[in-house]
Structure 1
Amino acid sequence: MLAPLTTPLTPPGTSPEPSPTDLSGTTAFDPAGLRWLNRHASLGPTFGRAMQGQPVSEPQWLATSDAAAAELGWPADWWRHPLALAAHAGGPSWPGSAPFATVYSGHQFGVWAGQLGDGRALLLGEVDTPHGPREIQLKGSGMTPYSRRADGRAVLRSSIREYLCSEAMAALGIPTTRALALVGSPTLVRREEIETAAVVTRTAPSFIRFGHFEHFCHHDQHAALRQLLDHVIDAHLPACREAAQPAVALLESVSRRTAELMAHWQAVGFCHGVMNTDNMSILGLTIDYGPFGFLDGFDPGHICNHSDERGRYAYARQPQIGWWNLHALAQALIPLVDAPAEQAADLLGEALQPYREVFPVALDALMRAKLGLAIERPEDRALIEDLLQLMASTRVDYTLTWRRLSQVRSAAGLSAEAAAGPVRDLFVDRAAFDAWLSRYVDRLRAEGSEDALRRLRMDRVNPALVLRNHLAEEAIRAARDGDTSVLNDLAGLLRQPYDERPDDARWRHATALPPDWAQGLEVSCSS
């Protein structure tokens, strides 16, 4: 259950504020000055349903993101406006917004699932900002025409996880939707057990997915399919308009963006968990944080989603699934290519090829950076792959290994123990690690690497902190007891993932090996 707050919301980087339920203080934020564009909603009823949300009861602010607010050009205290809490709890929305639930379809776990849509999400609208147009969406704001007999709610635990991971991924430099705010409520919802509800406010340049295109192709609504193509190109990918075949150009752009996203996921050890085509962003963003997870011990076959019984979305399979999903998108675009179907399929097939070129190049570059290698050499891939195999053999901690490698010393004449530093302690098979370390040190010397400068470079790309499941669980348990300080403290740490915190006793465990109880945590599609 969600207990009454015992700690008030204090936006990061500010002095303590009154409780967010106390609206006697006001903000200079003026929602009447927002310029709403609402381009998706203006496409018409074929693309979704205009509607209002269904507010949760007794809403209370749990967290807000100053960084996400800044992207919108909003002040950090925007949430103090008298209309803000209701608008972000599913109630009356901001003046000028046009709440809209969109329809889409998709493949779920490789099987065509038919019509889906925003079953618990509601697009408040699209607002013009100093950083370009941004869509603002609520998740958990009640039933829509696409809820498929569900309640349209999101639970507190999954909402906290999404809020935290959105912040974490943005700070890691990985393309992602953002979480602007988190609202809690004592409203009860039933999943595996009775839980309390929450609403996350998410922002992105667009929430359009592969599944939006699949929907209109599958239902032979080719006019709407072309209208959607024109909207995406005009709003987000204008360079595609100049191409002889705009649909082909769009697919090539999406292929490149998706390849780069997959490389980022693999390099940081992130597992999405539900890479259905309806969870794939047309802009190459990480979208829909459900049963995600960051690797603890390195296991290429790791399945972060308890519901994924066959391991379709295991860590090592994510690049292949990205490729599969792009093929599904290509099929949906065939009617939009001005050519006979067979020729159209060939043109779209060619537009997929950049994925196969971009992904390995992007991943190699990221992994070389993680090793601190400034110059590319042919033997680098073998050096990386051999380290990963060594880590996998005894499931060595992924994040700590890369972070501690920056402390390797490359001076001549050092013993393996002296050269390796603390990273050696992570490996059970010391002899095998020492053999790999010798090759690594030789490689560093070959390019004249300076240890101090290399450590600075490596510590800027290898995070000291990622959102491990047990850290999210600590925030969830505290919030259920009415204490949001853990949630907000952890969010603040995740915004600076490359910083060391050896003197902060409260959070020293966040950059250490996970506790034994973390092995028993499971996440699933239930939220």
Structure 2
Amino acid sequence: MRYQNTYITLDPRLYHRQPPTPLKDPTPGHFNQQVADQLGFSNDDELMARWVEIIGGIYVPEGFEPLAMAYAGHQFGQWAGQLGDGRGLLMAQVLDDNDQLQDLHLKGIGLTPYSRMGDGRAVLRSTIREYLCGHAFRGLGVRASNALGFVVSETPVRRERMEAGAALMRVADSHIRLGHVEWITSYAPELLGEFTDYMIDTYYPECREQDQPIAAFLQAVVKRTARMIADWQLIGFAHGVMNTDNLSITGSTLDFGPFGFMERFNPGWINNHSDHTGRYAYQNQPAIGHWNLNVWLPHFMHLEGVTRETLAECLAPYEASFMQHYQQGLCRKLGIPHSSESLSLAFEFMTFVEDNTLDYTNSFRALLAVVASSNHPFETILLNTMQAELSAEALLIWQDWSSRYLDYLAQLARSTEQVVDDLKGNNPVYVLRNDMAQRAITAAEQGQFDEVARLYELLTSPYKVQDIATDLDTTPPAPDAPQMPISCSS
């Protein structure tokens, strides 16, 4: 691998250097060959032979320089003070096969000075959920952290019950969070200029060419964050814990905790059982992204030349960036060009899916059967299943909308092949449903990782109907069954 450990060159107040605390007798969970190839990890025979020891914290390869980052943050809208890597270490930074910097971050590997009341460990269930979700995002084409692999061990970890300790090597384009800047301005404000230069030079070098590099950097973060959240909304993803310490400066999804993919469409869905007020409900995510950035930006007023007017100009593009990306994406999901007429038709469809609590993913994919049923038997089954749930009145509404949709496609003079390509390329067949993840976890807790491996293969190509799939992979919960919230304990 091509190491480029730059974070460790920063002021030592920003981190604590330490080795991992090994797990007891780690054994393989799953290894991500895609990520290994991307990093150049697979080109090193010793790394490949010892990957379980590396992720288990037993072996630290030459070139790794482990450290725990300090950061702070607002959690559920309240200032939480100093936080930091309480159970993870930034092990190394490397250039991948696209010459892009990637962080190798080992999660679940023992106590650090930032552990607070935690034990520094992770359990198998949360590790599997994060591993599969990062991989699912890659298949969906949405920017996010991924993972090189995970291990399970004989280290006991107490949560609601005693569980097996696990560790995961997370790979992300950055682990710098909005909360890093919050920590600096609270505890070491004299470092803000140096740290801002590092963020620009490392992650946004194109901003150096602008007349006001800092303002250009801040606006770029705003736009990337807006686009990230628009991507979440389009795939029906709820992050669950959008604290400022869980949002990356690169607009790449980070920290898969109590996340979930929408099944029965309910915009008010709360997927985090600790979110008692619904702050991080699916429909609130765009507004919370804006709130987090509005909290983050004023810290840069400590820098010369950055005024309130500057920050207002930086934040201003957020709404337009989000709406443009979301609306264009929504139209692509219907195979139609972005226009006011297209949006009207798209929002009618969304309202219908919501009013009848239909499955979000399946409903979009079923449009293939509306357009060309003879060539899409799987989608025809989805469509028939959907229609069977409708009341007589709702079925008439659906038939009217479908007729107008087909008429609109005919007016656009788009070929069936063009529409089908758009529908297939923008509407996945498979997302990581909660029951899918739970079945993999249940089997893994009994020492069987075949289901993890199957889901890994399935989610590698989520836009294609696959033979390895089961009916359960596309079956939503019953219409009257609540979508269960996920625990934060991990």
Query: What TM-score comes out, normalization by structure 1 length?
Result: 0.87
Aligned residues: 480
Check if 1:384 corresponds to 2:346: yes
Q: What is the CA deviation profile of residues 123-154 of structure 1, one whole-angstrom value per residue up to 9, with x for unaligned ones?
A: 00112333222110001001110000210111
How much does 1:520 deviate? 6.7
How far the C-alpha of 1:122 sits from its partner, in A, is 0.4
CA contact (8 A) 2:73 2:83 kept: yes
Q: Which residue of 2 aligns with 1:30?
A: none
Q: Secondary structure at the match of 1:201?
A: strand
Kindly report which structure 2 residues correspond to 1:14-163, keeping only aligned pairs within 5 A, or say none: 34-75=1-42, 81-132=48-99, 133-163=101-131
Could you give the per-residue CA deviations for residues 182-207 of structure 1, whole angstroms, max 9, x where no partner exists? Answer: 11112111112211111010112211
- What fraction of aligned residue pairs are identical, expressed as a percent? 39
Contact (CA 8 Å) 2:358, 2:386: kept in 1 or not? no
Give the aligned residue type for 1:482: G
Residue matched to 2:376: none
1 CA distance for matches of 2:338 and 2:45? 47
Cα distance change on mapping 1:194 and 1:520 into 2, 3 Å: farther
Q: 1:437 aligns with which of 393, 402, 422?
A: 402
Post-superposition shift, 1:388? 1.3
1:460 Cα shift? 1.5
The residue aligned with 2:476 is: 513
Q: Secondary structure at the match of 1:196?
A: strand
Selected match of 1:174 from 136, 142, 145: 142
Q: 1:194 to 1:496 in 2, by over 3 A?
A: same
Return 282-291 or 455-464, whichever deviates more: 455-464
- What amino acid is the match of 1:61? P
What amino acid does structure 2 have at the position aligned with 1:256?
Answer: K
**Structure-to-structure mapping, 1:290-439, within 5 angstroms:** 290-339=257-306, 344-373=307-336, 375-409=337-371, 423-428=386-391, 429-439=394-404
The corresponding residue for 1:495 is 460
Tell me which amino acid in the other structure corresponds to 1:455. V
Runs of 4+ in 1 over 6 A off after TM superposition: 515-518
Given that 2:458 and 2:468 are in contact with CA atoms closer than 8 Å, whether structure 1 keeps it comes out as no
What amino acid maps onto 2:186 in structure 1? Answer: H
CA distance in 1, matches of 2:131, 2:364: 26
| Paired residues of 1:407 and 1:422 also in contact (CA < 8 A) | no
Deviates most, 234-243 or 422-431: 422-431
Structure 1 residue 80: Cα displacement:
6.6
Verify: 1:455 aligned to 2:420, yes or no.
yes
Gaps of 5+ in 1: 1-33, 412-416
Q: Partner amino acid for 1:105?
A: A
Specify whether residues 60 and 79 from structure 1 end up closer, same or farther in structure 2 by C-alpha distance, changes over 3 A only. farther
Please report the TM-score for the alignment, with normalisation by the length of structure 2.
0.93
Q: Could you tell me how far 1:159 is from its partner in structure 2?
A: 0.3
Q: Describe the shift of the 1:515–1:471 C-alpha distance in structure 2 as closer, same or farther (beyond 3 A).
A: farther
Structure-2 residue corresponding to 1:26: none
Q: Does 1:477 align with 2:442?
A: yes
Structure 2 Cα separation of the partners of residues 506 and 362 of structure 1: 31
Letter in 2 for 1:368: C
Structure 2 contact 274–487 (Cα < 8 Å) conserved: yes
1:481 partner amino acid: Q
**Are residue 186 (structure 1) and residue 151 (structure 2) matched?**
no
State whether residues 458 and 469 of structure 2, in contact with CA within 8 Å, keep that contact through their aligned partners in structure 1. no
AA at the equivalent of 2:185: C
Aligned to 2:377: none
Report the secondary structure of 1:203's partner residue.
strand
Label 1:447 to 1:274 Cα distance change in 2 as closer, same or farther (>3 A): same
Partner of residue 210, structure 1: 178
Whether the 8 Å contact between 2:28 and 2:152 is mirrored in structure 1 is: yes
2:311 is paired with a residue whose SS is helix
CA distance in 2, matches of 1:174, 1:475: 23
Query: Aligned partners of 2:154, 2:483: CA distance in 1, in Å?
Result: 27
Where 1:125 maps in the other structure, the secondary structure is strand
